[in-house]
Amino acid sequence: MQGVTVTLQKGGVGKTTVAINLAERLAAAGNDVLLIDVDPQGSATDGVGFDDVYVADKYLKHVLDEQDSTSPEDLIRTVSGPNSFDLIPSNKKLQRVSHELYEAENGEAEFYRRIVAPLRATYDWVVFDSPPTIGPLSNAAVVATRQVVVPLQLSKPSADALLRTVTNQLFALNRRLSGYDPIEVLSIVPNRVKGDNEEKHVLNALENSQFESYLPPFTRATAYESSGLGPGIRERVAFRRSYREGVPLAAYDSSADMLERFATLADVVEKESRASI
């Protein structure tokens, strides 16, 4: 199994949108995919139509509890559709898991051992949606998958958040877990791009920064010239509508132009992936 966590220490940039649609496109490419929602807000759970299980009695806390017989398999739901994939939902009480991981001596290792490892033979890919704040839940997902995708908007606050995330989360985890292979960025994904001059300025700065190598071709300024669409994931009302309907973009509109971009992202993620987990 391979894994990826969608992370950025900033709210509302499109983490959940990217996690859902990346999972869906990885499934469309023929993979068995599991999406795990470790954001206590439960947006990914909601966004694939499982708002009802957000209030279920059993959730990840029970899987982590040695005294409880709940297995990760017990929590799995299936997101139906032409490219079906599975979901382990969030829960309205998920913040408790954050506290427990914080208190535990080796919370990240326990999280991997009890939640991820039992599913290794079942799935080709596990995709984590993470909360906008760096904390035990986000760290546990990043440590479990060892690889991240970073969505951002082409704005100064997002670029600052990228630097913050790399420094305060990825480098900090690499330092703390120095015996392991370093955590890798598979792709930075500019999202909600409209094509104004401020965005061009920020993209240009990214292309000339230490983060340049994480920008796949479809995210680059040259994509302004090579396709009529412009680079990155574009601002499209269909994303908000599909979220409201509780389905991935492909199930909402199979002819949406951004599906191809997500297929490219899935391709990049598969090609760049290094870690079997």
Ligand X SMILES: Nc1ncnc2c1ncn2[C@@H]1O[C@H](COP(=O)(O)OP(=O)(O)OP(=O)(O)O)[C@@H](O)[C@H]1O
* Binding footprint of Mg ion on the chain (CB under 5 A): 15-16, 43
Which residue's Cβ lies closest to Mg ion? 16
Looking at the Cβ atoms of 144 and 233, the one nearer to ligand X is 233
Looking at the Cβ atoms of 21 and 147, the one nearer to ligand X is 21
Shortest gap between Cβ of 182 and ligand X (angstroms)? 24
Residue 235 interface partner, choices Mg ion, ligand X, none, CB cut-off 5-8 Å depending on type: ligand X
C-alpha 153/C-alpha 247 separation (Å) is 23
Strand order in the sheet with 33-37: 77-79, 85-88, 33-37, 125-129, 2-6, 147-152, 184-190
- Answer yes or no: are the C-beta atoms of 26 and 33 closer than 8 Å: yes
Structure-token match 């132009």, residue found:
257
Binding site for ligand X (CB under 6 A): 11-17, 39, 41, 43, 132, 191-192, 233, 235-236, 239-240, 243
Element (H, E) at 148: strand 147-152
Residue 233 interface partner, choices ligand X, Mg ion, none, CB cut-off 5-8 Å depending on type: ligand X
C-alpha 257/C-alpha 269 separation (Å) is 20
- Phi then psi for residue 118, to 5 deg, are -65, -15
Looking at the Cβ atoms of 45 and 223, the one nearer to Mg ion is 45
Residue 186 interface partner, choices ligand X, Mg ion, none, CB cut-off 5-8 Å depending on type: none
Residue 45 interface partner, choices Mg ion, ligand X, none, CB cut-off 5-8 Å depending on type: none
C-alpha triplet 53, 57, 60: angle, nearest 5°: 80
Residue 118 interface partner, choices Mg ion, ligand X, none, CB cut-off 5-8 Å depending on type: none
Shortest gap between Cβ of 15 and Mg ion (angstroms)? 4
C-alpha 272/C-alpha 274 separation (Å) is 6
Looking at the Cβ atoms of 15 and 146, the one nearer to Mg ion is 15
Shortest gap between Cβ of 213 and ligand X (angstroms)? 23
Shortest gap between Cβ of 228 and Mg ion (angstroms)? 30
- Answer yes or no: are the C-beta atoms of 175 and 213 closer than 8 Å: no
Shortest gap between Cβ of 243 and Mg ion (angstroms)? 10
- Phi then psi for residue 3, to 5 deg, are -140, 160
Structure-token match 């649609």, residue found:
21
Residue 7 interface partner, choices Mg ion, ligand X, none, CB cut-off 5-8 Å depending on type: none
Looking at the Cβ atoms of 146 and 261, the one nearer to ligand X is 261
Looking at the Cβ atoms of 16 and 31, the one nearer to Mg ion is 16
Shortest gap between Cβ of 157 and ligand X (angstroms)? 12
Looking at the Cβ atoms of 124 and 235, the one nearer to ligand X is 235
DSSP secondary-structure letter at 249? Answer: H
Residue 192 interface partner, choices ligand X, Mg ion, none, CB cut-off 5-8 Å depending on type: ligand X
Outline where DSSP puts E strands in 7-66: 33-37
Q: How would you class 30 by CB atoms within 10 Å of its CB: exposed for 0-12, middle for 13-18, buried for 19 or more?
A: exposed
